[in-house]
Structures are given as C-alpha cells and as structure tokens.
A and B are shown apart, each in its own frame.
Chain A
Amino acid sequence: MKKEITKAGKATLARTETPTLDFGHAWDYAPAPESSDHVKIESRYDLFIGGEWKAPKSKKYFATVSPSTEQKLAEVADANAADVDDAVKAARKAYDTHWGKMPGKERAKYIFRIARAMQEKARELSVVETMDGGKPIKESRDVDVPLAAAHFFYHAGWADKLDLAFHGRRVRPLGVAGQIIPWNFPLLMAAWKIAPALAGGNTVVLKPAETTPLTALMLAKIIQEAELPPGVVNIITGAGQTGAALASHKDVNKVAFTGSTDIGKLIQKNLAGSGKKLTLELGGKAANIIFADAPIDQAVDGIVNGIYFNQGHVCCAGSRLLVEESVHDLVVKKLRDRIATLRVGDPLDKNTDIGAINSKMQYEKIHELIAAGEAEGGERYTAPCKLPSKGYFIAPTFFTGVSMSSRIAREEIFGPVLSIMTFRTPDEAVEKANNTMYGLSAGIWTDKGAKIFWMTQRLKAGVIWGNTFNKFDPTSPFGGYKESGFGREGGRQGLSAYVEVE
C-alpha cells in the first residue's frame, strides 16, 4: 500500500536540486590522496598452483580495470578447465602428502604467519583493494584489511582446538575445498574462505571475482613467502566458466560460494547427488527497522552506514528502510540532509565516503533498477553530490512511497539505493521485514531493550544488529536464513563448514 504523501511532503521531496542545508564553502576539503607509489602491481599475473606461478594452459589473459579511473591495472590469467584440474590436483597432493596429516599446532603456526604478513603489508593491500574494486581507502584501510588479517589470526587459534569446538566429538578435515568469492570485499572474502578451511586441515583452490583479482593474488604471494607447503592454497583467476569448472570438479570435497542467489541455486542443483558438502552465502534485502522511540539522529547515521557503506555493495546491506509511520517525515528529512554531506569521488582520497561502483555492468544494473523504481511509482531523491567526470559513480539515492510488491522492494539492487516503507505496529514491522525470500540480516533501532529482543526472536534473519549496523568480527558467526544461503562464517559455528564431525 503506497503511503499517502502530504502536499507539503511532495514539494519538499521534489526539490532534488536545492538542498535545504547549504554550507557554502565551509565544507570544502583539501584533497587528501593516499599515496600509491610504494605499491607494486605487476603488469601480468599467472596462476598460483602448487606453490608456483604457472602460465595458464588456456594461454589467455584478461584485464582488470580501476572502476574509478577506467584505467587498466594489470592482466590476469584466465584459467580453463585444464588449469582448474591442475589446481585441484595440486591441492589433493598437498592434502594427501602433508597437510591432511599435519598436527593442528603446526598448521596453526603457518596460518599465524599469513596473519602477521598481512598486517605487515596492510597499507599496500588496502591501496590495491581500493584501486581494483573502487571502495574508499578509508574502508579498505580501516575495515577490510584489518578484518581479513584478524580472520587468519582467529582461525589459526582453532587449528589445534577443534575437539573443543565440537564437544569432544572426533573431527576430521574434508579434503580439498573449492571456493568462489565475489567482488564486494575481495580480500576479506578470501580470508573468510581460506582461514577456516586451513584451520580445519583442508587444502584450498580459490577463485576470486573477475573484476577484483589483485588482492587475492597478493595474498598468494604472502602465502608463498610464508613458506606454506606447495599446493595447500592455490589461487586461480577467471570468470564464470572457471568458477563453474571448479564447483563441479569431481575431486573437490567441499564447495563454498559467496555471490548471487541465482548462481548459488545453480551450484546447489549441480551438486545434487554428489555427496559434496556445500555452503552458500547469497544475496539479501535486509530490513532496517526504525521505531518512533529510536534515537533518531543515530538511527539516521545507521541508515547511511547500512546502505551507503561500500557503495551499497553489501549482501547484508540495510536496503529496505521500515520506519514507524509517526516519524517517517522526520527521518526522511534528516536523511535527505545527511546524504547531501556525503562525499562521492576518488576512492584513494581519504575524505571520500562513497567510492566507485565496482564495474560498468553493475553501474548499468543499478540504473536499470532506479528506472524501474520510478516507473513503479516510487518518489526518487538523489543527493546533489558532485560526481567525477570519469569512472562509474552514483550519488546516494532513496525512494519514498515504495510499495512492498515493487521491484525495488523485492530485488537486490546492490548499489547506493534505499527503498523506504512504513509500518504502524511491531507486528507489522515483523511481517514486512520477513516478507522476502531473503533472510540475511536486519537492523532494529529503538531505545527499549525489551523490544529489541522481542524483535530478534521474530525476525527471520541470520544476523541482527540492534542500534547499530554492518558490524563484523571473526568471532561472530555470519550467514543467512532462507534464500540468503546456508552455513555460517566466523565463530565456533563457522568451523562446521570445513570439517566432518562424528
């Protein structure tokens, strides 16, 4: 049901070109570019298989491009089925000859080495992550890279304590894990996959996303320098076909996939009857729920953090705002004023809040959904942020008057676009929040603690944030309900994905 917007409300919202707050030049910041001249990016990368860099049997390479400048950064190998086979063979050999038999306390020390080296190379990794993927340096430096190193540190400590994690039951590794990761948190997703797999005693073949291969390849170099036995971790680059070849390879015991729900379903169907273990971390359309008794100013920043952090390229983004009707106009006004202050631009500038959209393809997809939002009757507001002339940039946008059945209320946009709807009672908030095939995350904003726990008991979401949003930690299990996938990453519960427990 479309919410009735008052005439005054309509007039306010229509003024997209003239913000009600005007800071003049008081908010002009001097440029604060992060230096990138100490960073080493090779012109061409091969495949990391069996502890060595090997040219692809496909003889093909493809370019990876900076989405903020549209410049080519490097060429990476395009692994074909034969290359995938080599990588799986190397992983199998490493598992059979040493890794599968190595005592946990020795495996642990290798994993600690990786964590420490990532901390030593943190700045370089952050800069490359920003250049390759488009996210602001503030985020890659302060969130992605520290969390990725922490994941290795955390899981190193489990390698010799697996019996404790499973209440004394006997625990065995699975063997070879085939892992496919997305482009939104490239290094962090690699850490989420590799660290628990190694802790559990498995060997790994990992394929990073085709638009963001570089930090995974730098991680391969770290692993090589840490002198992990050859073949324990293999990193192969490629696109959809490489991923398909890996996910369906006969000698992979376990498949882990993070990406779109559509591909996740294909993989699950493909593995039917094979006996292979699978975990999926798929899309989301999380409800960020604001009650009238919420701390409103903090809630508005929570909205911004929920949908504009990482350009909205977050599976657990708070992409649906459910706001209690009585505070709808207040929240929308504050949100509109707040997003006008966000800086969209060069992701290597330390002042930038919102970086580049990851790729041309994603940029076009977001615009398609924005157009659909307008066509289906939503009222669009886009912040009047100045955008760079080159690169793929979209200013923060929200829609009011969104109906529950419209595309922008149901489909994952994966961009800085928020769909706003209202509710009157907590029961209605629960009903609307759960009315989705997804179930990855949710946010609840209220000053009343009892109400938070009442809501957490009823929301069908794997991760729920109370008076906060987008908080991650290696100790905190992450994963979805329903079609957002199954399995957890992080915490004691996340270990189950990579072991057989008797």
Chain B
Amino acid sequence: MAKKATKERAYITSIGTVAAGRVSVNKAYKMYVGGAFVRSESGRYFQVAASAVAGSADPDVVNIPLGSRKDGRDAVLVAKNAHEPWAGRTAFNRGQILYRLAEVMESRRAELTASLTRAGSTAAEALAEVSASIDRAVYYSGFCDKISSLLASHNPVSGPHFGFTVPESMGVVAIVAPEEPALLGLLSTILPVIASGNTAVVIASKRDPRTAVVFCECLATSDLPGGVVNVLTGDASEIAPHLAKHREVNAMDTWSDDDALRTLLEQEGAGSVKRMRSHDARACARLRDESGQGIGYIEKFLEFKTVWHPVGV
C-alpha cells in the first residue's frame, strides 16, 4: 500500500519488509551476567544513537544500562563461582562449546552485520568483521585441547624424580574490551581467556555496546554455562579501577587508548599482585588481522604448576 513518505514514517520490521501500519517491538538492551540479561543495579542508563539502516528494528536512539561499581562486584562473584566448574570441564568439552558459539554466530550473521552497520561500519566492513569473528571462534575452539600439548613439559631434572609442569587457568579475568573493532575486538579478547578455563568479567565498548549485547545473545544460546562470561556496559573509567582492586579478580586485560587509565589500573592491581596486561590503540588495531589471534593470547592467562614425584622401587 502506498504511503506519503514525506509525511509518514515507514515502519520497518526486522526482516526488512514494509508493513504499513504495523508497529515494531523495540529491543531492550541489557547486560549479560550469570547467564541472564540484567539491568544495572544503579538503574542508570546512557544513550547510543545509530544511523537509520534498512532492516533495523531499532529506533534512532536506544537506552543502554550504565554499569556501576556494584554491578562489577556482583559479576565478579558470579564469575568466581563459575570458575571451578568451567575449569573442571574437559578441554574437549570447552572446545565443543566454543564451536557451538561459532555455529550460532554463523546463523546470526545478518543480525550481527546489521548491528555493526548501525554503529557506523560500511556493509563491506561489517561483513568482513563478522566473518573474521566467526572464523576466530572456530580457531579458538580448536585450541582448547592443544594448550597442554604445546605448553606443558616433562622436566629432565638431575635425579631420580619424575617432574612435570602443567598450565592451569588463573581464575577470574577482568577485561576492558577495545572500543574498536566492537565485535572482533570483544571476541578476540574473551575467547583466549576462557579457552583455558578462566572466567571473565568484561566491560564492553561504550561506543557500540549494542553489538556486544547481540554477541552475548550468541553466548547465551551456545551452551556456555552462565557466569563464564559476564559483560557489563558502561564506562570503563568508572568500573575498571574497582575491578583492578578486587581481590577475587586474578588478572586484568586492558585494551584502551587511554594511557592514563592503563597506568591507573596497573597501579591499582599492584595491591593484590594482580597479573596485569595492557594494550594500547595499536594493539587494538592489530586484532583485525591474523596477528590478532594466537597462542600468546592464551598463554598470558595461564599459571604454571610444577610437580615432582620420586622414581624408584
């Protein structure tokens, strides 16, 4: 049915057909903690504007929870409780779950691509970023059961002892995700951390938190146990320093072009001898290509345990 386009809005459903007169349902964007989608306990929000894109069910402005220090604390508790069961699964099982994530992302290509386009990527850029993200999920899914083969050792000690060193996950890792690339950057920092059995509390990009939430919907349907990955939206400068001080957070991974923030977090982390890793804008950009994945990303969040046992009758 023809409409006077100058006077009336065209209502666009999520599959892109014009349904004259039909009102669409707006999505509420929430954080992802303990396997559930939640608002900030503070009730605060911030707004993200988007380019109007054909096929988008979103209005021009959406409200995103503005995460608080307490949200961070609650997420750490959840991640801590999820650590032992996650690390206790077989590496094969973790690999299967990460592969399932890739399957789910592949089936949601259109939604992920649309989300990136809304945040300002061109169609071609969005397509490339989604493909690269799915392939990176496949890459890390095939890594879980290979970490030990590559990084453990038998130690040829001088004496009648059987000695070996095995890698173990550290526990809870706090991640300040890169502002860009919003999907590939988020996934590239989370997956190597959880592949080995760590759990994560993540502060997503403030520039494009919407894509982070769509990614969380993929996590939620991929058999990943609740609490293994927890994603907060909001200001890294507000939440991250508290995570850096939190004694139940074992390590922190900061991807930010804010030099002052990186230094502050490293200072705060020293109080609990936290394993601190920091990456600047150049490192964030490198996540876009092949050097954005690899064993180094996994190794940075491993502890090494050495065991001795006598040999003799």
| Chain A residues engaging chain B, CB cutoff 8 angstroms | 105, 108-109, 112, 150, 153-154, 156-161, 164-165, 426, 448-451, 453-454, 457, 474-475, 491-492
State A492–B148 Cα separation when bound (angstroms). Answer: 10
- Asked if residues B145 and A157 are in contact (CB atoms below 8 Å), the reply is yes
With both beta carbons as reference points, the residue of chain A lying nearest to B143 in the complex is identified as: A157
Q: Which residues of A contact B135 (CB under 8 A)?
A: 105
**The residue from B138, B143, B144, B145 contacting A112, defined by CB atoms under 8 A apart:** B138
A–B pairs, 7, beta carbons within 8 Å: A154-B92, A164-B146, A426-B313, A449-B309, A474-B92, A474-B145, A475-B91
**The residue from A150, A165, A450, A491 contacting B310, defined by CB atoms under 8 A apart:** A450
Q: Which residues of A contact B313 (CB under 8 A)?
A: 426, 448, 450-451, 454
Q: Which of B285-313 contact A (CB under 8 A)?
A: 295, 309-313
- Asked if residues A158 and B139 are in contact (CB atoms below 8 Å), the reply is no
Known contacts A112-B99, A454-B313; is-contact A154 B295 (Cβ 8 Å):
no
Q: Which of B254-313 contact A (CB under 8 A)?
A: 295, 309-313
Q: Which residues of A contact B68 (CB under 8 A)?
A: none
| Chain B residues engaging chain A, CB cutoff 8 angstroms | 91-92, 95-96, 99, 135, 138-139, 141-146, 148-150, 162, 295, 309-313
- Asked if residues A160 and B139 are in contact (CB atoms below 8 Å), the reply is yes
- Across chains A and B, which 5 residue pairs bring their CB atoms closest together, nearest first? A157-B142, A453-B311, A492-B149, A453-B162, A450-B310
**The residue from B92, B148, B310 contacting A153, defined by CB atoms under 8 A apart:** B92
State A109–B162 Cα separation when bound (angstroms). Answer: 39
- Asked if residues A451 and B142 are in contact (CB atoms below 8 Å), the reply is no
Q: Which residues of B contact A109 (CB under 8 A)?
A: 138
State A475–B148 Cα separation when bound (angstroms). Answer: 9
State A159–B95 Cα separation when bound (angstroms). Answer: 15
- Asked if residues B309 and A453 are in contact (CB atoms below 8 Å), the reply is yes
Q: Which residues of B contact A164 (CB under 8 A)?
A: 146, 150, 295
- Asked if residues A105 and B310 are in contact (CB atoms below 8 Å), the reply is no
In this complex, the member of A157, A158, A164, A453 whose beta carbon has the largest number of chain B beta carbons within 10 angstroms is A157
- Asked if residues B162 and A492 are in contact (CB atoms below 8 Å), the reply is no
Q: Which residues of B contact A492 (CB under 8 A)?
A: 146, 149-150
State A426–B139 Cα separation when bound (angstroms). Answer: 47
Q: Which residues of A contact B162 (CB under 8 A)?
A: 453
With both beta carbons as reference points, the residue of chain A lying nearest to B103 in the complex is identified as: A116
Known contacts A105-B135, A108-B142; is-contact A457 B95 (Cβ 8 Å):
no
State A457–B138 Cα separation when bound (angstroms). Answer: 39
Q: Which residues of A contact B312 (CB under 8 A)?
A: 450-451, 454
State A165–B148 Cα separation when bound (angstroms). Answer: 12
State A108–B141 Cα separation when bound (angstroms). Answer: 11
State A475–B143 Cα separation when bound (angstroms). Answer: 12
State A150–B149 Cα separation when bound (angstroms). Answer: 16
Known contacts A109-B138, A158-B142; is-contact A153 B309 (Cβ 8 Å):
no
- Asked if residues A450 and B142 are in contact (CB atoms below 8 Å), the reply is no
Q: Which residues of A contact B144 (CB under 8 A)?
A: 157
**The residue from B91, B96, B143, B309 contacting A161, defined by CB atoms under 8 A apart:** B143
Q: How far, in Å, is B298 (CB) from chain A's closest CB?
A: 11
Q: Which residues of B contact A453 (CB under 8 A)?
A: 162, 309-311
Known: A157-B141, A160-B139, A474-B145. 4 other contacts (CB 8 A): A153-B92, A154-B145, A157-B144, A453-B311
Known contacts A153-B95, A449-B309, A450-B309; is-contact A161 B142 (Cβ 8 Å):
yes
State A449–B96 Cα separation when bound (angstroms). Answer: 34
- Asked if residues B138 and A475 are in contact (CB atoms below 8 Å), the reply is no
Q: Which residues of A contact B295 (CB under 8 A)?
A: 164
State A389–B156 Cα separation when bound (angstroms). Answer: 57
Q: Which residues of B contact A157 (CB under 8 A)?
A: 95, 141-146
Q: How far, in Å, is B148 (CB) from chain A's closest CB?
A: 8
State A451–B313 Cα separation when bound (angstroms). Answer: 5
Known contacts A150-B92, A450-B310, A451-B312; is-contact A161 B146 (Cβ 8 Å):
yes
With both beta carbons as reference points, the residue of chain B lying nearest to A167 in the complex is identified as: B150
Q: How far, in Å, is A105 (CB) from chain B's closest CB?
A: 6
Q: Which residues of A contact B95 (CB under 8 A)?
A: 153, 157
Q: Which residues of B contact A161 (CB under 8 A)?
A: 142-143, 146
Q: How far, in Å, is A204 (CB) from chain B's closest CB?
A: 20
Q: How far, in Å, is B115 (CB) from chain A's closest CB?
A: 23
State A453–B145 Cα separation when bound (angstroms). Answer: 25
State A443–B154 Cα separation when bound (angstroms). Answer: 21
State A450–B310 Cα separation when bound (angstroms). Answer: 5
- Asked if residues B96 and A153 are in contact (CB atoms below 8 Å), the reply is yes
State A174–B309 Cα separation when bound (angstroms). Answer: 41
Q: How far, in Å, is A163 (CB) from chain B's closest CB?
A: 10
- Asked if residues A454 and B311 are in contact (CB atoms below 8 Å), the reply is yes
Q: Which residues of B contact A448 (CB under 8 A)?
A: 313
In this complex, the member of B142, B144, B312 whose beta carbon has the largest number of chain A beta carbons within 10 angstroms is B142
Q: How far, in Å, is A416 (CB) from chain B's closest CB?
A: 31
**The residue from B96, B138, B143, B148 contacting A105, defined by CB atoms under 8 A apart:** B138
Q: Which residues of B contact A108 (CB under 8 A)?
A: 138-139, 142
Q: Which residues of A contact B148 (CB under 8 A)?
A: 475
State A491–B144 Cα separation when bound (angstroms). Answer: 13
Q: Which residues of A contact B309 (CB under 8 A)?
A: 449-450, 453
State A295–B309 Cα separation when bound (angstroms). Answer: 20
Q: Which residues of A contact B149 (CB under 8 A)?
A: 475, 491-492
Q: Which residues of B contact A450 (CB under 8 A)?
A: 309-313
With both beta carbons as reference points, the residue of chain A lying nearest to B144 in the complex is identified as: A157
Q: How far, in Å, is A103 (CB) from chain B's closest CB?
A: 10
Q: How far, in Å, is B99 (CB) from chain A's closest CB?
A: 6
Q: How far, in Å, is B153 (CB) from chain A's closest CB?
A: 13
**The residue from A105, A158, A426, A457 contacting B146, defined by CB atoms under 8 A apart:** A158
State A448–B310 Cα separation when bound (angstroms). Answer: 10
State A112–B103 Cα separation when bound (angstroms). Answer: 11
State A451–B309 Cα separation when bound (angstroms). Answer: 10
Q: How far, in Å, is A19 (CB) from chain B's closest CB?
A: 37
State A491–B141 Cα separation when bound (angstroms). Answer: 16
State A449–B295 Cα separation when bound (angstroms). Answer: 33
Known contacts A112-B138, A160-B139, A164-B295; is-contact A475 B145 (Cβ 8 Å):
yes
Q: Which residues of A contact B141 (CB under 8 A)?
A: 157
- Asked if residues A160 and B150 are in contact (CB atoms below 8 Å), the reply is no
State A448–B99 Cα separation when bound (angstroms). Answer: 41
State A213–B138 Cα separation when bound (angstroms). Answer: 32
Q: How far, in Å, is B152 (CB) from chain A's closest CB?
A: 11
State A150–B143 Cα separation when bound (angstroms). Answer: 14
State A109–B311 Cα separation when bound (angstroms). Answer: 44
State A159–B138 Cα separation when bound (angstroms). Answer: 11
Q: Which residues of B contact A426 (CB under 8 A)?
A: 313
With both beta carbons as reference points, the residue of chain A lying nearest to B142 in the complex is identified as: A157
State A158–B143 Cα separation when bound (angstroms). Answer: 8
Q: Which residues of B contact A165 (CB under 8 A)?
A: 150
Known contacts A112-B99, A426-B313, A453-B162; is-contact A156 B92 (Cβ 8 Å):
no
Q: How far, in Å, is A148 (CB) from chain B's closest CB?
A: 13
State A453–B96 Cα separation when bound (angstroms). Answer: 33
State A156–B311 Cα separation when bound (angstroms). Answer: 37
State A109–B142 Cα separation when bound (angstroms). Answer: 10
